[in-house]
Amino acid sequence: MRLTNLATLEATDIYIDATANLSSYTDRYDKFTITLGALDKGQYRYEVTENPTNYEAGDTLQGGLYTFTDSGFGYITAATDQSTTAQWGCQGTTIAGLQIDIGTGPANTALIVAGCATAGIAARIANDLTLNGFSDWFLPSLDELSQVYTQLAADGLGNFSNHSYWSSTQSSATQAFTIDMQNGNSNEHNKSQTNRHTRAMRRFAIPATGPRVIETGLAMIETTEGTFTATTNTIDYISYNS
């Protein structure tokens, strides 16, 4: 957090591990005591920030579990499966334009939804998902799903079953790629199979430099000292006594 004295314009940065203080974040920062050092009493502007350089795989943020960063985007995996029985859909139909690379999951999902009218398919489940306030979920491409295994499942994170999970990448008109979350292997399965799992992802833009501000406001500092409870931060949240 950054506190800026509105009278002197002097800024002070304070870092808090939000994971240990979720109750204060839920309560909108209104009752929380941290060390403020030796700040002068007065009115301060505060900024709530997220620092993407400190994210670790499995951190809870942005609606799910942080997984990896690539090309200016942070990738988030839903914390639970969206389906254990959905088919990939449209067996025998080639969906043109589907890709394998990281960054192509959103476009792949849109192409599948547009090209396959079947209800309840994996891509449509991800596309229609609203979860934890976010509605921009997609079915990951094969390379994105491989990262899900490497960063999460391989380390026992993410509550994955020892089953194959659908990607949004097809291998032919009749088959699509999956990743086995037990060992990370890539396989090809008939699009009509209903014993594969579905796990959605989303992504968010990461600023090129520095933490991004997610909220600002005013705080009245009544005391000049407090108790510092953390020296490092994963997600930088601010709270204060009012």
> Which residue has better confidence, 28 or 137?
137
140 & 83 share domain: yes
Mean residue pLDDT of the chain comes to: 79
Q: Is the pLDDT confidence value at 235 over 90?
A: no
59 in any annotated domain: no
How far is CA 13 from each of CA 28, 69, 85, rounded to the nearest angstrom? 19, 25, 49
Tell me, yes or no, whether 40 and 92 share the same domain.
Answer: no
Distances from the Cα of 53 to the Cα of 59, 66, 153, angstroms: 12, 12, 22
What span, in angstroms and rounded, lies between the C-alpha atoms of 23 and 193?
Answer: 43
Task: Decide if pLDDT at 72 tops 60.
Answer: yes
pLDDT band at 206 (very low <50, low <70, confident <90, very high): confident
Top pLDDT among 40 and 113 is at 113
Comparison of pLDDT for 191 and 18, the residue scoring more: 191
- d(CA 129, CA 151) in angstroms, rounded, equals 23
> Who has greater pLDDT, 24 or 3?
3
Per-residue pLDDT for 38 more than 60? Answer: no
pLDDT (0 to 100) of residue 183: 97
Do both 125 and 197 map to the same domain?
yes
Number of domains making up the chain = 2
Do 135 and 225 lie in one domain? The reply is no
221: containing domain: 1-51+211-242
Mean per-residue pLDDT, 83-112: 98
Q: Are 169 and 238 members of one domain? A: no
User: Is residue 109 scored above 50 in pLDDT?
Assistant: yes
More confident residue, 10 or 155: 155
pLDDT band per the 50, 70, 90 thresholds, residue 24: very low
Interior/surface letters 147-177, b for 16+ CB within 10 angstroms, e for the rest: bbbebbbbeebbebeeebbbbbbbbeebbbb
100 and 172 housed in the same domain: yes
Evaluate if residue 59 carries a pLDDT over 70.
yes
pLDDT band for 239, please (50, 70, 90 cuts): very low
Q: Are residues 102 and 148 in the same domain?
A: yes
Asked if residue 22 has pLDDT above 50, the reply is no
Residue 200 and residue 229 in one domain: no
- Has residue 223 got a pLDDT over 90? no
Mean pLDDT value of segment 86-96: 97
At 151, is the pLDDT very low, low, confident or very high (cuts 50, 70, 90)? very high
pLDDT band at residue 17 under the 50/70/90 scheme: very low
Residue 100 maps to a domain: yes
Length of the chain: 242
Q: Do residue 78 and residue 141 come from a single domain?
A: yes
Question: Could you tell me if residue 108 is inside a domain?
Answer: yes
pLDDT over 90 at 39, yes or no: no
**In whole angstroms, what is the distance from residue 14 CA to residue 1 CA?**
5
